[in-house]
């Protein structure tokens, strides 16, 4: 039952729904709000949706370490295993830390909510700006890396790199707009195929290398690398900085870990437990894949450099793209670049890299919705679309990612320099926020077992916060001049933008608080009907105005031509219209200004008087007809809406071109369903509303 005095009317499908057919074909049927629970995810679908980013990053994390180490030739490749171990330990620490977050804050705000509640607005918005930037970069880097793997299998596509990448972003956005659960099924198979394929490749390659006489040898194993100037001899602090720079690049393996904390509401109950389990599975699989790919790359003697021409022996380095590390390993393990298994690995890798952007397509809209609810982003980001997903956030993310891919030529090496600054900013602030959260819990908890659990969680978050803070400093220092400066510039801009949006919403809310004057009835109502000619639209507007029974009714026209005005007055008397016609003189042939001055005069003489202006307007069916009609009405409405105490009522008059036109965009003629009801064309036109 509804509340007393409140009547609820169920929505009924209308003929205008036919106009949504193209949208339905692309995105599927709309989903009712009361079926939101049906879009929640079990762990088997949540894993590929939220963990595809960290799982797929193994396709380029090892590659990024090798790029930095080969700047000095091959002399320092011995550092790679130690750097990989450091990355795995950091990954394990961060995963353990985020398991505490999903249990303590299951509402889906992730680091933003943790920072906001424990450090305040400044820290919360800092995290939010970092995450928003990082989500855009996640899409750009993942799609660019996926494009690289497609080109590794089909080098002839290199010249279409940007077009392929932008097209993939568009397809990915469309898939997400179809709805979370359907996207989960779409992404599950490629992710699991990638995991299986990479594991098979690692095991096969390492078994061949350790136990057979035919070890895996990469196609670049025989190449030599020309050291970059200044990297020939490294020692002391220079060597330490060099190693830290390679470690920072390898930390791309941690991207996307926070997405599960931001997406806890999308899990099936028990939400926190399922999210924590999925997080642990993701961390374990990512660590195994990253370690295995790094070990196999070193065993196969893979060479991968920033500039292909630094590989001595690589022909046509100016035009031919390098094969990715995964492509080289697949070719070496499975018998060359014509092997079906090579193409299978490349297909799975390219798919999962492209679909890894789904982590951002889930995280960005959810975070945008939380920010919008807190009035730091436009309210439109909090609105769900037909498929119960945050459509506006998905479209916004796709647009920014496509722009970034276009600006940087879909080049992974250029894009990745800006990557992970935002990730570790949110990591660090979030973990220290959790430490403060546990401190408050200790102050209110007396049970000994509960206090031990809290202290264990606090210790985990303290270690996590310490490590991620150190890594953040390393990333900023080692990547600043190579592109990180741009992220550090954009983040404050986003921060200030969110503050400005919040100030606007707060200011508007203050102005809209009801007061005594808001409930006071106007002293009287003065209706004004704007008249240009005596015709049907004018007579309808007068009839509607009279039906409202105003205290005063004025028919108002503006004299811009004496002859036309005299003709109008004659027609007024001829039709014996029972409303006096008031004529405003306009020596400068203006229409808008005299009407405004007339309305202001009424309000000035009687501030409590409500002025209702009735504006007749033609309803036309063709776009070009709008250019020929309604221009004066549009200008008047635009100016009148800024006058306090004035209401504007548009009185539509449908012209023939609008008959039969509805939301489906059909022109004149029979309306949908007329023929089915047995109406002829003439009868349908005579009864346009059926």
Asked if residue 525 and residue 384 are part of one domain, the reply reads: no
Asked if residue 628 and residue 500 are part of one domain, the reply reads: no
pLDDT at 162: 93
Ranges of residues in the chain whose predicted pLDDT is under 50: 1-19, 21, 23, 25, 32-38, 180-182, 663-690
| Digit-coded pLDDT (tens) for 587-607 | 888 888 889 999 999 888 888
Domain count, the chain: 2
Residue 162 lies in a domain: yes
Q: Rounded CA gap, 463 and 468, in Å?
A: 9
Q: Rounded CA gap, 647 and 649, in Å?
A: 7
Q: Which of 286, 262, 269, 253 is nearest to 50 (CA)?
A: 262
CB contact set of 106 (below 8 Å; sequence gap of 6+): 264, 265, 271, 272, 275
Residue 33 lies in a domain: no
pLDDT at 627: 72
pLDDT at 667: 47
Asked if residue 499 and residue 642 are part of one domain, the reply reads: no
Residue 298 lies in a domain: yes
Asked if residue 191 and residue 98 are part of one domain, the reply reads: yes
Asked if residue 364 and residue 257 are part of one domain, the reply reads: yes
What CATH number has the domain bearing residue 199? 1.20.1740.10
- pTM, two decimal places: 0.75
Asked if residue 485 and residue 557 are part of one domain, the reply reads: no
pLDDT at 587: 83
pLDDT at 688: 34
Site of tokens 């009609």: 629
Within 10 Å of residue 228's Cβ, how many Cβ atoms?
15
Domain limit, last residue, from 504, 528, 559: 504
Burial class (CB in 10 A: 0-12, 13-18, 19+), 219: middle
Asked if residue 546 and residue 486 are part of one domain, the reply reads: no
Residue count (the chain): 690
Whether the CB-CB separation of 580 and 608 falls below 8 Å is answered with no
Whether the CB-CB separation of 459 and 438 falls below 8 Å is answered with no
Asked if residue 632 and residue 483 are part of one domain, the reply reads: no
CB contact set of 69 (below 8 Å; sequence gap of 6+): 76, 77, 79, 80, 246
Q: Which residues, listed in sequence order, are joined to residue 650 by a DSSP beta bridge?
A: 615
CB burial of 455-467 (b: ≥16 within 10 Å; e: otherwise) equals eebbebbbebbeb
Asked if residue 548 and residue 438 are part of one domain, the reply reads: no
Q: Rounded CA gap, 542 and 597, in Å?
A: 22
Q: Rounded CA gap, 555 and 545, in Å?
A: 10
Asked if residue 112 and residue 158 are part of one domain, the reply reads: yes
Residue 36 lies in a domain: no
What CATH number has the domain bearing residue 562? 3.40.50
Residue 219 lies in a domain: yes
Q: Which of 215, 242, 226, 232 is nearest to 301 (CA)?
A: 215
Asked if residue 471 and residue 529 are part of one domain, the reply reads: no
Asked if residue 342 and residue 194 are part of one domain, the reply reads: yes
Whether the CB-CB separation of 283 and 92 falls below 8 Å is answered with yes
Count of H helices and E strands in the chain? Answer: 25, 7
Domain span including residue 585: 520-660
């Amino acid at each position: 039952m509804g509340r007393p005095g409140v009547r609820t009317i169920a929505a009924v499908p209308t003929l205008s729904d036919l106009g949504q057919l193209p949208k339905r074909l692309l995105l599927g049927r709309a989903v009712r709000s009361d079926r939101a629970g049906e879009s929640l995810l079990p762990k088997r679908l949540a894993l590929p949706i939220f963990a595809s980013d960290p799982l797929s990053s193994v396709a380029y994390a090892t590659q990024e370490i090798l790029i930095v180490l080969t700047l000095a030739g091959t002399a320092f490749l011995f550092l790679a295993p130690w750097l990989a171990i450091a990355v795995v330990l950091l990954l394990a620490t961060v995963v353990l830390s985020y398991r505490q977050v999903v249990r303590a804050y299951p509402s889906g705000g992730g680091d933003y909510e943790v920072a906001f509640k424990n450090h305040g607005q400044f820290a919360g918005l800092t995290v939010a700006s970092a995450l928003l930037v990082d989500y855009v970069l996640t899409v750009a880097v993942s799609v660019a890396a996926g494009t690289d793997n497609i080109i590794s299998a089909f080098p002839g596509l290199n010249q279409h790199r940007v077009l392929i990448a932008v097209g993939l972003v568009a397809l990915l956005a469309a898939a997400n707009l179809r709805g979370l659960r359907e996207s989960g099924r779409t992404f599950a198979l490629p992710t699991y195929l990638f995991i299986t394929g990479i594991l098979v490749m690692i095991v096969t390659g390492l078994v061949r290398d350790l136990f057979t006489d035919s070890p895996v040898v990469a196609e670049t194993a025989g190449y030599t690398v020309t050291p970059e100037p200044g990297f020939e001899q490294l020692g002391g602090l220079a060597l330490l900085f060099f190693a830290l720079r390679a470690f920072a690049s390898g930390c791309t393996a941690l991207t996307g870990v926070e997405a599960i904390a931001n997406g806890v509401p999308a899990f099936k109950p028990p939400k926190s437990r399922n999210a924590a389990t999925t997080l642990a599975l993701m961390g374990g699989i990512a660590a195994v894949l990253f370690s295995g790919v790094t070990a196999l790359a070193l065993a196969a003697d893979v060479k991968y450099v920033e500039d292909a021409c630094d590989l001595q022996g690589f022909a046509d380095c100016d035009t031919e793209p390098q094969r990715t590390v995964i492509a080289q390993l697949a070719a070496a393990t499975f018998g060359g670049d014509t092997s079906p298994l090579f193409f299978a690995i490349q297909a799975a890798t390219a798919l999962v890299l492209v679909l890894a952007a789904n982590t951002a397509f889930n995280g960005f809209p959810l975070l945008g919705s939380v920010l919008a609810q807190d009035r730091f982003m436009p309210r439109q980001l909090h609105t769900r679309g037909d498929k119960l997903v945050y459509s506006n956030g998905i479209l916004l993310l796709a647009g920014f990612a496509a722009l970034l891919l276009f600006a940087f030529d879909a080049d992974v090496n250029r894009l990745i320099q800006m990557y992970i600054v935002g990730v570790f900013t949110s990591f660090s602030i979030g973990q220290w926020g959790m430490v403060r959260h546990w401190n408050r819990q200790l102050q209110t908890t007396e049970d000994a077992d509960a206090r031990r659990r809290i202290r264990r969680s606090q210790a985990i978050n303290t270690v996590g916060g310490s490590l991620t803070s150190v890594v953040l400093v390393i990333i900023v220092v080692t990547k600043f001049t190579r592109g990180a400066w741009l992220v550090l510039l954009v983040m404050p801009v986003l921060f200030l933008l969110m503050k400005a949006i919040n100030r606007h919403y707060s200011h508007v809310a203050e102005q809209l608080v009801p007061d005594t004057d808001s409930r006071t009835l106007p002293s009287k109502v003065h209706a004004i009907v704007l008249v240009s000619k005596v015709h049907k639209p004018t007579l309808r507007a007068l009839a509607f105005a009279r039906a409202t029974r105003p205290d005063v009714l004025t028919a108002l026209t503006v004299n811009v031509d004496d002859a036309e005005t005299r003709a109008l007055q004659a027609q007024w008397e001829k039709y014996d219209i029972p409303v006096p016609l008031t004529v405003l003189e306009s020596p400068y042939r203006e229409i808008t200004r005299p009407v405004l001055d007339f309305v202001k005069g009424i309000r000035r003489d009687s501030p409590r008087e409500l002025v209702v202006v009735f504006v007749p307007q033609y309803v036309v069916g063709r776009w070009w007809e709008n250019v020929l009609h309604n221009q004066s009405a549009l200008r008047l409405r635009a100016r009148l809406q800024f006058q306090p105490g004035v209401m504007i009522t548009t009185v539509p008059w449908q012209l023939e071109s609008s008959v039969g036109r509805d939301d489906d965009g059909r022109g004149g003629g029979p309306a949908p369903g007329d023929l089915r009801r047995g109406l002829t064309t003439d009868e349908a036109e005579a009864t346009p509303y059926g």
